[in-house]
Amino acid sequence: MTDTTTTRQDWQSDQEVRWCPGCGDYTILAAVQNFMADLDIDKEDVVFISGIGCAARFPYYMNTYGMHSIHGRAPAIASGLAVSRPDLSIWVVTGDGDGLSIGGNHLIHALRRNINIKVLLFNNQIYGLTKGQFSPTSEQGKKTKSSPWGSIEHPFNPVSLALGAEAGFVARTIDMDRGHTQDMLQQAYDHKGSAFLEIYQNCNVFNDKAFIKLTGREERDINRIDLQHGKPVVFGPDDQWGVVMDRGAARIVDVAEVGIDKIHIHDVTAESPAAAFALSRLSHNPIGPTPVGVFRKVERRLYETTVQQQIHDAQASRGPGDLAKLLTSTGTWTVE
């Protein structure tokens, strides 16, 4: 093991960072680079894999191994790498279009299999790279270049989707809160298994101030719900509002009216994702009180561990494989 004491500069590549001025991606990149510098890890043991979109430039800017892959397929490529090289720290960088549209199928299966990859989904609720069409997370009624009369589609809730896919670790953060983002990155890194982190990311060109309810000085105090394990779910300038579970659904109440004992206690380790899912439904889009933080953190057996065990057991009982014999076994024929 070499000396792994590093600085942010050690994790910066020699490539010019090219996003639109003011893009939230700059803040996320800085948070990730600072976070990596604090880890006791070699750069050669870290891989960033992306698909297509603004967020997909990410691997170019990290001084690690990486791959700018094809549209929506980053989770599939990362899955193959994780199974063959479980010693690596593998990160997927994707966007709401790349990860939830063409890549949605790959994403949910990587999460349900519990492959040890960390998925960072930059959600700006718009297609940025292709210049402003509505995305799978755009709100209904959103007027864009591809929906001039307003989008009629019901949007995905990324956290709900990840919880439904049984991801072991699910969290949400905001690009402008670098400290919170680095905390979520650390917890995702420490988790053994699939980890999904949604990052609300401002696109100041095509969807500016989409998350102003959570980032504005006046708005954030009454809309941001900071989830903390083992504590009541309360929010507001004086924690005057809270969340209760009412027949399986999360509901916002006045703490003074119902009493603090009635407020839901957040448990990220709960085996059932039901309560976490209910919390994720409080705000389908960040237009009102919206939870951020860790929704779920439950460990399960790793997919790659089971695969490696099956290979070991097969070799122990049958000996080393013979590829030539396999290829010429049953089901072959000769064409003359």
Locate the DSSP E strands across the chain.
Answer: 46-50, 65-68, 89-95, 118-123, 169-174, 195-200, 224-226, 234-235, 241-246, 249-254, 290-297
Residue 329: burial class (beta carbons within 10 Å; 0-12, 13-18, 19+)? exposed
Total structural domains within the chain: 1
**Any residues with CB less than 8 A from the CB of 243 and at least 6 apart, and which?**
225, 233, 234, 250, 251, 252, 253, 263, 264, 279, 282
Tell me, yes or no, whether 150 lies in a domain.
yes
Cα–Cα dist 161/144, whole Å: 24
**187: CATH:** 3.40.50.970
- CA-derived radius of gyration, the chain: 22
Q: Are 132 and 320 in contact (CB under 8 A)?
A: no
Query: Which two tokens mark 333?
Result: 């024929």
Residue 296 counted as domain residue: no
Nearest to 171 by CA among 25, 292, 24, 271: 292
Residue 245, domain member (yes or no): no
Residue carrying the six token digits 């050669």: 44
Does 300 map to a domain? no
Residue 217 lies in a domain: no
Give residue 2's pLDDT: 53
Q: Residue-wise pLDDT tens for the chain (336 aa)?
A: 455 689 999 999 999 999 999 999 999 999 999 999 999 999 999 999 999 999 999 999 999 999 999 999 999 999 999 999 999 999 999 999 999 999 999 999 999 999 999 999 999 999 999 999 999 999 999 999 999 999 999 999 999 999 999 999 999 999 999 999 999 999 999 999 999 999 999 999 999 999 999 999 989 999 999 999 999 999 999 999 999 999 999 999 999 999 999 999 999 999 999 999 999 999 878 889 999 999 999 999 999 999 988 888 888 888 887 888 878 887 777 788
Contact 237, 219 (CB under 8 A): no
pLDDT at 308: 87
The span from the CA of 40 to the CA of 45, in Å, is 11
268, part of any domain:
no
Contact 124, 201 (CB under 8 A): yes
Burial grade of 308 (CB within 10 A; 0-12, 13-18, 19 or more):
middle
Domain enclosing residue 14, as ranges: 8-210
| Backbone CA torsion sign across 177, 134, 219, 257 | negative
In a domain, 246, yes or no: no
23 contacts 58 by C-beta, under 8 angstroms: no
Residue of 86, 29, 26 whose CA lies nearest to 62: 29
Asked, for residue 67, whether it belongs to a domain, the answer is yes
Q: Are 245 and 258 within 8 A, CB to CB?
A: no
The pLDDT assigned to 1 comes to 46
Rounded CA separation 260/256 (Å): 7
